[in-house]
Amino acid sequence: MDNKAIDTDILLEESLDKILEFLEEKRYFQARDELLKYNAVDIAELLEEVTEKLEIEMTIILFRLLPKDISVEVFSELPSDDQVEIVNGITDKEINFIVQEMDFDDKIDILEELPANVVDKILEKTPKNERRLINTFLNYPDTCAGSLMTPDYISLQKDWTVGRALEYIKEVGMDAETVYTCYVKDSGRKLIGIVSLSTLVITDDETRIKDIMRTDYVWENVYEDQEEVSEDFKKYGFLALPVVDNEHRLVGIITVDDILDVMEEEATEDIERMNGVIDFENSDKGYLDKSVWQHALNRLPWLLILMVAYIFTGMIVSSFEGRLSEIICLVSYMPMLMGTGGNTGSQAATLIIRGLATDEVDTSDVLKILWKEIRIGILIGIILSTFNFARVCLLDGQEPIIALTVCAAMLLIVIIGKVLGSMVPLMVKKLNLDPALIANPAISSVSDMVALSIYFAMAMVFLGL
Amino acid sequence: MDNKAIDTDILLEESLDKILEFLEEKRYFQARDELLKYNAVDIAELLEEVTEKLEIEMTIILFRLLPKDISVEVFSELPSDDQVEIVNGITDKEINFIVQEMDFDDKIDILEELPANVVDKILEKTPKNERRLINTFLNYPDTCAGSLMTPDYISLQKDWTVGRALEYIKEVGMDAETVYTCYVKDSGRKLIGIVSLSTLVITDDETRIKDIMRTDYVWENVYEDQEEVSEDFKKYGFLALPVVDNEHRLVGIITVDDILDVMEEEATEDIERMNGVIDFENSDKGYLDKSVWQHALNRLPWLLILMVAYIFTGMIVSSFEGRLSEIICLVSYMPMLMGTGGNTGSQAATLIIRGLATDEVDTSDVLKILWKEIRIGILIGIILSTFNFARVCLLDGQEPIIALTVCAAMLLIVIIGKVLGSMVPLMVKKLNLDPALIANPAISSVSDMVALSIYFAMAMVFLGL
């Protein structure tokens, strides 16, 4: 889309050039002033580029020149390598300030990524009671609601007036992750209602909180899987959701900005699994940050399983070898039939797996899906068979009976591929497993076996082999 | 996660049973009261179930019994089939109310989905100036920022005091899509700054807006692609972004709740494309709502392209036929070598395509990626070759020279598969095309050809064929 007249990316690039120039001429303050035209996210991006283009020392110098309140935000946005270097390169007093001012959930995220010695250095500066809280948070499993939440929410008393609540928000609001939803707890710390800031702002000052709080709110259990949590955000369109323990005591809140990352992570996991890559570490490391060993480990399981599957495919071919060598031209159509079977199956599997993930289809739709895929298979099978009949007869100059064998096999292979591809994910889902784990490699290797069996069966029928 | 003591889903199911019972006994008001325990999203879900389990007439009765303000929200959440039935089943006066009260962007979404005659019926009830606005919005391309935005934002004057601004928000806030970010325009309707509601709430009443507004805000052009827009939401973590035209005039805002849907749509599109399904209609219809023809049309292009590719694969096999029939046992390893080449290539392609989509890798990383994939390929190739050497010699009882041929081919096929799979997406990206479009089917059919060529070459080297 070229309609974007001025683009932030272009502005950023121009500023980067200026900053690099300033730094080379040791005009540090001018470089800093250029940085300060931007928000914390963009400043972090620029500093990252500085580290890459020049050296980390330059980044540390610039970082120390930033106003303190901005430096905290920028620190949270930097990649963990740079964070480590900065923690090692600045004074204890500076670390102290950053640690105290950081948002709680950013702190948790950062502590999860940093090496142990740096974590110790940071925890040292943390007050004792907060340290205990941090340790609790670090203990929640990596993919549950507890690992996404922050304890920095605003809680109101049900007997307060709106005026008092607004005063309270003015006082403590700066430290909260969000002030847009406030939570009402009873004396036992149980969650009893929520009030949005917009309701407070448009309501009369004398009204009591209990009269305007909503009780039909949606909540999450602290051990709920993050995928379910992000489903709820999508379903209800909220900006934040409260997280409660088994006694319905409010333990934290999750804000929508963290959910955007979860959705991307979950989509990546599904895409990788569907194509036979299993991330055993379940890490959020990028492609380039994973070692060769890690990459090989993630990809080997499926390849090895397929090796075993192909022993059976090999056996099917072997049992037919003697007869194949009589009509050797049949061999040249094997790749096409296997490939088409695999692709046609994985097309269907992809649509069903994704449909299950986005709640568009459900295991109870099995008959509707079966009937649909059979018709799609027949339609596609007929078109591909017609194409192939012409090819085998005209282009390859084979006997019509050979063409008939290939085309009959093609039709059956496509139909069975569509049926297998659509039914297997539904069965896996029914067993309460992740359908994405029955990856496309599995579908296509099963299709290979089926394709060859059908092909040889057709050869027996039509060619009397 | 079974730790969730009480789950909304379970509550909803219990309520559904109660409602169905009430309806069968014609106790409509009790059914309605049961519904009213929930928020609009859940009520819509329950009504959908009622339509499915009983009939649409029941849903219409219940819908008409809902308090008016709730019925508007519920209407926006219903599937479009049910919306059509409801529009046809209620009075003009009721339609009128719903149309007037609905959020602007919900109205646009609904009008895009409904059949023309129902759209006319709804537009009839809309005031003339709003009708013009609706038509403008309906005209933005389906996947650009303009199609996601709403004109219901709050704009403040730069010379207002905070107190006046809060008064203004109290007055007009109810109709705005979000009051959490307010926008400041100059006299020419150009956007000059933003102020968040939280800043207003914690700032002294006498302060002027121009002194607290932020000017380092991020904005989107109205024609920006929705994928880029959602990248920005993820990058900056904002709840809403302003949309401007080429003269930087504010035309609307986009809120984060709509971005969650965009992210899901974009992930679905990528997943489908990667597996050879191209959605030509670019519709947000679900699997079950698409016709057999539409499904076949979306899947045929890749299958036909592959048909053509397999003509060449067939030619490679054909040219080797004579020699193959001498050592026919080589045929039985063809499926395994082709399959492994395809899978190993699509694993690499998947990681790179996803890495490009999430900005984890970039075309400038080409050498790093190449070097990594070569090493991964060697590692995996050696492991798979060792496995196969044992299999061919021990399990199949073949000569060691046959095993050597198969294993040498395997090693080369894996390495080349990894290199092809990782490099092709980078090249496609460099050409400014969507790497997901060079789907796994393409990678695996090219790998098939390469695999067979390597296999036959190894056979010539080791077996002198």
Q: Which CATH number fits domain B154-256: 3.40.50.1360, 3.10.580.10, 3.40.47.10, 2.102.10.10?
A: 3.10.580.10
> CA of B6 to nearest chain A CA: how many angstroms apart?
8
Q: Average pLDDT for residues B38-60, to the nearest whole number?
A: 87
Q: In this predicted structure, what is the pLDDT of residue B5?
A: 41
A270 vs B271: CB contact, 8 Å cut-off?
A: yes
Q: In this predicted structure, what is the pLDDT of residue A6?
A: 53
CA B285 to CA A148: how far, in whole Å?
32
> CA of B435 to nearest chain A CA: how many angstroms apart?
14
How many residue contacts between A and B have a Cβ separation below 8 Å? 380
Reading the block at residue A382, the tokens are 């007929």
Q: Which long-range contacts (CB under 8 A, 24 or more apart) does B378-381 make?
A: B378/B411, B378/B415, B379/A292, B379/A293, B379/A296, B380/A296, B380/A299, B380/A300, B380/A303, B380/B344, B380/B414, B380/B418, B381/B410, B381/B411, B381/B412, B381/B413, B381/B414, B381/B415
The phi, psi pair for B180, rounded to 5°, reads -75, -25
- Tell me the residues of chain B between 204 and 233 that have a Cβ less than 8 Å away from chain A: 216-218, 221-225, 228, 230, 233
B292 vs A372: CB contact, 8 Å cut-off?
A: yes
> CA of B58 to nearest chain A CA: how many angstroms apart?
23
Measured CA distances, B306 to A24, A61, B368, B443 (Å): 54, 56, 31, 10
Note whether A462 contacts B: Cβ–Cβ < 8 A.
no
Note whether A432 contacts B: Cβ–Cβ < 8 A.
no
- State the burial class of residue B330 (Cβ atoms within 10 Å of its Cβ: 0-12, 13-18, 19+): buried
A288 vs B369: CB contact, 8 Å cut-off?
A: yes
User: Which residues of B are less than 8 Å from A37 in CB distance?
Assistant: 216
User: Which residues of A are less than 8 Å from B350 in CB distance?
Assistant: 271-272, 274-275, 277
For chain B, the domains span 8-139, 154-256, 287-463
The answer to whether residues A456 and A406 touch, using CB atoms and an 8 Å cutoff, is: no
Radius of gyration of chain B measured on its C-alpha atoms: 30
CA A437 to CA A444: how far, in whole Å?
14
B292 vs A383: CB contact, 8 Å cut-off?
A: no
Note whether A106 contacts B: Cβ–Cβ < 8 A.
no
> CA of B72 to nearest chain A CA: how many angstroms apart?
15
- Tell me the residues of chain A between 8 and 27 that have a Cβ less than 8 Å away from chain B: 8
Handedness of CA B146, B151, B153, B155 (dihedral sign): positive
Question: Closest partner residue to B263 among A144, A260, A349, by Cβ?
Answer: A260
For domain A289-463, the CATH superfamily is SLC41 divalent cation transporters, integral membrane domain (1.10.357.20)
Best A143, A147, A328, A406 residue to mutate vs chain B (most B CBs within 10 Å): A328
ipTM: 0.76
A387 vs B444: CB contact, 8 Å cut-off?
A: no
The tens digit of pLDDT for each residue in B202-239 reads 888 899 999 999 888 888 998 888 888 988 898 888 88
pLDDT at B6 over 60: no
The tens digit of pLDDT for each residue in B71-114 reads 888 888 888 788 888 888 888 778 778 777 777 777 777 777 77
A314 vs B333: CB contact, 8 Å cut-off?
A: yes
By CA distance, what is A377's nearest residue in B?
Answer: B296
The tens digit of pLDDT for each residue in A253-279 reads 998 888 988 888 888 888 888 888 888
User: Which residues of B are less than 8 Å from A230 in CB distance?
Assistant: 260
A310 vs B286: CB contact, 8 Å cut-off?
A: no
For domain B287-463, the CATH superfamily is SLC41 divalent cation transporters, integral membrane domain (1.10.357.20)
Rounded to two decimals, what is the model's pTM? 0.77
> CA of A22 to nearest chain B CA: how many angstroms apart?
22
Question: Closest partner residue to A223 among B1, B235, B310, by Cβ?
Answer: B1
CA A241 to CA A254: how far, in whole Å?
5
Note whether A460 contacts B: Cβ–Cβ < 8 A.
no
Best A48, A172, A275 residue to mutate vs chain B (most B CBs within 10 Å): A275
CA B242 to CA B150: how far, in whole Å?
10
Note whether A277 contacts B: Cβ–Cβ < 8 A.
yes
- Tell me the residues of chain B between 123 and 162 that have a Cβ less than 8 Å away from chain A: 144
A321 vs B328: CB contact, 8 Å cut-off?
A: yes
Note whether A263 contacts B: Cβ–Cβ < 8 A.
yes
* Nearby residues of B375 by Cβ (< 8 Å), 6 or more positions away: A292
Note whether A49 contacts B: Cβ–Cβ < 8 A.
no
**Helical pair A104-113 and A116-124, crossing angle rounded to 10 deg:** 150
Domain covering B8-139: architecture: Alpha Horseshoe (1.25)
Q: Which long-range contacts (CB under 8 A, 24 or more apart) does B361-366 make?
A: B361/A286, B361/A287, B361/A288, B363/B426, B363/B429, B363/B430, B365/A288, B366/B423, B366/B426
Instruction: Show pLDDT as tens, one digit a residue, over chain A (465 residues).
Output: 333 445 677 788 888 999 999 988 888 888 989 988 888 888 998 998 888 888 888 888 888 888 888 888 888 888 878 888 888 888 877 877 877 777 777 777 777 777 777 777 777 777 777 777 777 777 788 788 888 888 888 989 989 999 999 888 888 876 677 788 899 998 888 999 999 888 888 888 899 999 999 888 888 998 888 888 988 898 888 889 999 988 888 988 998 888 988 888 888 888 888 888 888 776 667 788 888 888 888 888 888 888 888 888 888 888 888 888 788 888 889 889 988 888 888 889 989 988 888 888 888 889 999 999 999 999 999 999 999 999 888 888 888 899 999 999 999 999 999 999 999 999 988 888 888 877 777 888 888 889 989 999 998 888 876
